[in-house]
C-alpha cells in the first residue's frame, strides 16, 4: 500500500496539475514585491535622413537618442507592504491546498487499494460458494435418482447454482472496476490488470484515547483558511490606507546627438527629477466602498474559518463514533460467521448421510446464511479500514505527529 501511495503521489495527473498551479502562484508573489521597489526603464533610438532633389547636392544626417526613466512610490502608510504580505499569504495558502490535495490523494489511494482487496475477497468467496453449491447439487441429484428427494429439491439446488454463477460475474465486474479506479489514481492506463493481495492491511486495534484537539491545527484546509483570513485582513488594511495621499518620485535622463560617441557624454545629457503628491478628492465614493468591501471580505473569511473548524471537529467525532460501533459490530459478526459455518457443515453432513428430518431447504438456508455472514464480514472489515483512513484524513495525519 505504501508503494502504491508513493506511485500515486509521483504520477497522479491531477496532483501534477495542482503542483504547476502552485508554481504559477509563487511567481505571482514577485509582482507584489516588485511594487515596493523602484522601476527603471531605458530607451534608445536611431534615425537617418537625406535631403536634396534633382541636381541639387544632397546631405545625409544621422541622429542618436538615449533616455533613462526611473520612478518609485515610497510606501508612506504601509499599503504596498500589506499587499505584498497578502500576496505571500495567498501563496502559502496555495501551498497548504497542495498539501491537502496530496494527503487526500494518499488516503484515496489507500482506500482504493483496500476496496480492491475486498472486491477480490468477495470474488474468491463467490467462487468457493459456487463450488459448494455445485457439490450439493450433485448430492441432491444423486438422492433424487434414488427416489429419496423430490424434483423441487433439484430445482432449488439448480437455482442456487445459477444465482451463484450470476453473482460470480457481478463480483468479477466489481473487482475490475475497483482495479481501474486505483489505476486511474496511479496515472496508469485503466486496464484492470492490477493484482491485489489476499488480505487487507493491518491497522492498530484501537484508536488512542484522549487525542489532543491541537492535532487538527495541522490540517491543510485549516491552515489555508487561517492564511486566507490573514491575507484578507492585510488587503483590508491596504484598502483603508489607499484613502490617504500617495507620494511618487520620478527621474529622467535623455540625450539626443548626431554622433553615437556623444551618447554617454555628460555634456550632452539632460536630466530631471520630480515628485508628486496625489490625493483623490472625489470619485463617487468608490475608494471608501472598496475599503468597506475589503473589510467585509475579511469578516467573511473569519466566518468561513470558524465553519471549517466545526466541520473538522464533526468529521473527527463521527469517525471516532463509527470506529467504536464497527468494532462492536465485528465482534458479533464473527460469532455469526462461526455459527453459520457450523450450521452449514452440519446440514451438509446430515443430507449426505440421509439422516431423517434433514431437508434440502434446511441446507440451502444454512448456506445462504453462511455466505451472507462471510460477505458481511468482508464488507465490515473494509468499512473499518476505510473509516480509519478517513480519521487519518480528518486529523490531517497520524495519532502522534503534531506537524
Q: What are the sequence ranges of the domains in the chain?
A: 2-41+63-395
Inter-residue contact 76 to 235 (CB < 8 Å): no
Backbone angles phi, psi at 308, to 5 degrees: -65, -40
Best CATH choice for the domain 2-41+63-395 from the list 1.20.1600.10, 1.25.40.20, 3.30.930.10, 1.10.260.40 = 1.20.1600.10
pLDDT on residue 283:
67
What is this structure's pTM? 0.82
Backbone angles phi, psi at 3, to 5 degrees: -65, -40
Per-residue pLDDT of the chain (403 residues; tens, 9 = 90+): 999 999 999 999 999 999 998 888 888 888 778 877 888 887 777 677 766 665 656 677 767 677 778 887 787 788 888 889 999 999 999 999 999 999 999 999 999 999 999 999 999 999 999 998 898 888 888 888 888 778 888 898 899 999 999 999 999 999 999 999 999 999 999 999 999 988 988 887 777 777 777 888 889 999 999 999 999 999 999 888 888 777 777 766 666 655 555 555 565 556 566 666 666 666 667 778 888 899 999 999 999 999 999 999 999 999 999 999 999 999 999 999 999 999 888 887 877 776 766 677 888 888 889 999 999 999 999 999 999 999 999 988 887 765 5
Q: 318-357: string of b/e by CB count within 10 Å (b at 16+)?
A: ebeebbeebeeebeebeebbeebeebbeebbebbeeeeee
User: DSSP label at 1?
Assistant: -
> Strand pairing of 270-278 and 246-257?
antiparallel
Backbone angles phi, psi at 357, to 5 degrees: 100, -20
> What cell does 82 get?
500589506
Amino acid at each position: 500500500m505504501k508503494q502504491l501511495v508513493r506511485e500515486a503521489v509521483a504520477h497522479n495527473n491531477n496532483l501534477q496539475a495542482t503542483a504547476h498551479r502552485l508554481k504559477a502562484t509563487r511567481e505571482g508573489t514577485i509582482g507584489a514585491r516588485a511594487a515596493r521597489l523602484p522601476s527603471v526603464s531605458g530607451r534608445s533610438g536611431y534615425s537617418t535622413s537625406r535631403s536634396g532633389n534633382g541636381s541639387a547636392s544632397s546631405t545625409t544626417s544621422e541622429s542618436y537618442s538615449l533616455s533613462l526613466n526611473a520612478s518609485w512610490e515610497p510606501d508612506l502608510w504601509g499599503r504596498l507592504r500589506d499587499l505584498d504580505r497578502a500576496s505571500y499569504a495567498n501563496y502559502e495558502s496555495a501551498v497548504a491546498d497542495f498539501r491537502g490535495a496530496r494527503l487526500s490523494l494518499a488516503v484515496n489511494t489507500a482506500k482504493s487499494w483496500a476496496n480492491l482487496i475486498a472486491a477480490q475477497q468477495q470474488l474468491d468467496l463467490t467462487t468457493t460458494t459456487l463450488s459448494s453449491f455445485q457439490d450439493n447439487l450433485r448430492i441432491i441429484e444423486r438422492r433424487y435418482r434414488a427416489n429419496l428427494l423430490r424434483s423441487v429439491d433439484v430445482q432449488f439446488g439448480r437455482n442456487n447454482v445459477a444465482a451463484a454463477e450470476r453473482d460470480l460475474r457481478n463480483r468479477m465486474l466489481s473487482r475490475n472496476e475497483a482495479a481501474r479506479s486505483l489505476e486511474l489514481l496511479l496515472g496508469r492506463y485503466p486496464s484492470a490488470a492490477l493484482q491485489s493481495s489476499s488480505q487487507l492491511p493491518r491497522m492498530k486495534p484501537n484508536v488512542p484515547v484522549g487525542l489532543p484537539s491541537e492535532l487538527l491545527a495541522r490540517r491543510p484546509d485549516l491552515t489555508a483558511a487561517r492564511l486566507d483570513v490573514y491575507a484578507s485582513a492585510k488587503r483590508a488594511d491596504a484598502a483603508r490606507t489607499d484613502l490617504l495621499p500617495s507620494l511618487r518620485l520620478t527621474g529622467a535622463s535623455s540625450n539626443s546627438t548626431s554622433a553615437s560617441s556623444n551618447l554617454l557624454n555628460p555634456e550632452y545629457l539632460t536630466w530631471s527629477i520630480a515628485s508628486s503628491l496625489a490625493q483623490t478628492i472625489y470619485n463617487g465614493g468608490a475608494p471608501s466602498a472598496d475599503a468597506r468591501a475589503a473589510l467585509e471580505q475579511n469578516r467573511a473569511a473569519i466566518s468561513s474559518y470558524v465553519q471549517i473548524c466545526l466541520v473538522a471537529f464533526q468529521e473527527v467525532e463521527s469517525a471516532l463514533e463509527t470506529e467504536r460501533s464497527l468494532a462492536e459490530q465485528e465482534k458479533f459478526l464473527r460469532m455469526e460467521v462461526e455459527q453459520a459455518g457450523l450450521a452449514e457443515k452440519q446440514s451438509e453432513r446430515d443430507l449426505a448421510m440421509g439422516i431423517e428430518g434433514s431437508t434440502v431447504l434446511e441446507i440451502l438456508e444454512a448456506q445462504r446464511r453462511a455466505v451472507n455472514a462471510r460477505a458481511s464480514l468482508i464488507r465490515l472489515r473494509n468499512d473499518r479500514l476505510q473509516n480509519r483512513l478517513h480519521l487519518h484524513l480528518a486529523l490531517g495525519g497520524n495519532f502522534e505527529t503534531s506537524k
